[in-house]
């Protein structure tokens, strides 16, 4: 592969393992685009909730899956997400959306719609892209040049999240993220999973900077091999 060919990097893993922080920094450092696919599933969930769709009813979700227009920015310095023209970057992080997103993202019609969107964004990235999520290496971009699967102990992940949500109860935070991972891993359609050819990086005892350096090195090695 020529060095001018766009490089496609897939970063997957459970909640709180550092996918977003790592992906944004790696993309910024290497001049690549960045796509947060979790934000897209959160955006469609936000739309369902806002429009009174019962998120416990898969057939209602399936019937509405094609309705919202979701646009994702791919600048790692200022990731953006809009639904029908509204900036939803804040609302999609609220607890109500977080608690419902696994149910919405398990619906096959939702996954088909969002996967098409993700593939078209990745195909139009001129220098390349870092795409982070749960099924990028296995389903969305199975031919990615580099696949990374980030892990970390539930305790480390809960501590990181509690640090973000100031004052949040550590035990409740741990239970919530373990529950969401279980739902994401056990759904029938493209569950959270490590691709066979992904490099697994356990971030439990690594600083964010160490993880970023590790991934940058892996991307540079791939580019040098071309
Ligand atoms: N190696 C690390 N050491 C310490 N803190 C970290 C590390 N990696 C990420 N963090 C912190 O952990 C929190 C969660 O990270 P991040 O949002 O990147 O995880 P994520 O895998 O994208 O989570 P989610 O899937 O829930 O969106 C952030 O506050 C981030 O700064
Ligand atoms: N490729 C993906 C990415 C995300 N999801 C679902 O979205 C939820 C939110 O993801 P965050 O990364 O923002 O925490 C996640 O729990 C999954 O339900 C997905 O299915 N596939």
Task: Please tell me the distance between residue 163's alpha carbon and the centre of ligand 2 in angstroms.
Answer: 21
Whether 216 contacts 26, CB under 8 Å: yes
pLDDT digits (tens, 9 = 90+) for 144-173: 999 999 999 999 999 998 877 666 788 899
pLDDT of residue 165: 65
Looking at ligand 1, which residue's alpha carbon is closest to its atom 25?
15
Q: How far is CA 101 from the centre of its chain?
A: 12
Which one of the ligands is nearest to 46 CA? 2
- Alpha helices (runs of H) in the chain, residue ranges in sequence order: 19-30, 37-50, 58-64, 95-105, 108-123, 154-164, 170-186, 208-225
- CA dist., res. 100 & res. 105, Å (int): 9
How does pLDDT run across 99-116, given as a tens digit for each residue? Answer: 999 999 999 999 999 999
What does the mean pLDDT of the chain come to? Answer: 95
Please choose from 34, 160, 206, 207 the residue to mutate so as to test ligand 1's pocket, defined by most ligand atoms within 8 A of CB: 160
Q: In the predicted model, what is the mean pLDDT of residues 194-200? A: 98
pLDDT score of 181: 97
Residues 30-60 have pLDDT tens digits of 999 999 999 999 999 999 999 999 999 999 9
Boundaries of every domain in the chain: 7-220
Q: How does DSSP classify residue 91?
A: G
Q: Quick count: other Cβ atoms within 10 Å of Cβ 221?
A: 10
pTM (predicted TM-score): 0.97
DSSP 3-state assignment of 86?
Answer: strand
The response to whether residue 5 sits with its C-beta less than 6 Å from ligand 1 reads no
**Strand partners for 131:** 10, 35
Strands 81-83 and 86-87: antiparallel
* Whole-number pLDDT of residue 166: 67
Q: Quick check: 76 pLDDT over 80?
A: yes
Average pLDDT value for residue range 58-68: 98
Is 19 annotated in a binding site? The answer is yes
Q: Does 162 appear as a known binding residue? A: no
User: Among the CATH numbers 3.40.50.300, 3.30.565.10, 2.60.40.1930, 3.90.230.10, which is that of 7-220?
Assistant: 3.40.50.300
Structure tokens at 93: 């992080």
Q: Would the pLDDT of 2 be above 70?
A: no
ipTM: 0.98
Choice between 161 and 28, residue whose per-residue pLDDT is larger: 28
Establish whether 13 is an annotated binding residue.
yes
Q: What is the pLDDT of residue 87?
A: 98
């Amino acid at each position: 592969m020529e060095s001018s060919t766009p490089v496609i990097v897939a970063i997957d893993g459970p909640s709180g393992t550092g996918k977003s922080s790592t992906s944004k920094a790696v993309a910024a450092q290497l001049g690549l685009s960045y796509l947060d696919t979790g934000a897209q599933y959160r955006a469609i969930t936000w739309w369902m909730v806002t429009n009174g769709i019962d998120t416990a009813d898969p057939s209602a979700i399936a019937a509405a899956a094609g309705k919202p227009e979701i646009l994702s920015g791919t600048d790692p310095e200022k990731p953006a997400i809009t639904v029908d023209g509204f900036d939803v970057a804040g609302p999609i992080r609220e607890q109500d959306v977080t608690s419902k997103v696994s149910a919405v993202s398990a619906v096959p019609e939702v996954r088909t719609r969002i996967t098409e969107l993700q593939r078209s964004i990745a195909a139009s990235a001129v220098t390349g892209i870092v795409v982070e999520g749960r099924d990028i290496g296995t389903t969305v971009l199975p031919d990615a040049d580099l696949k990374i699967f980030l892990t970390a102990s539930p305790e480390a992940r809960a501590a990181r999240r509690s640090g973000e949500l100031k004052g949040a109860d550590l035990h409740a935070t741990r239970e919530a993220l373990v529950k969401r991972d279980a739902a994401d891993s056990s759904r029938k359609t493209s569950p959270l999973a490590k691709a066979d050819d992904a490099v697994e990086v356990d971030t439990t005892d690594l600083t964010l900077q160490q993880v970023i350096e590790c991934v940058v090195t892996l991307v540079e090695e791939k580019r040098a091999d071309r």
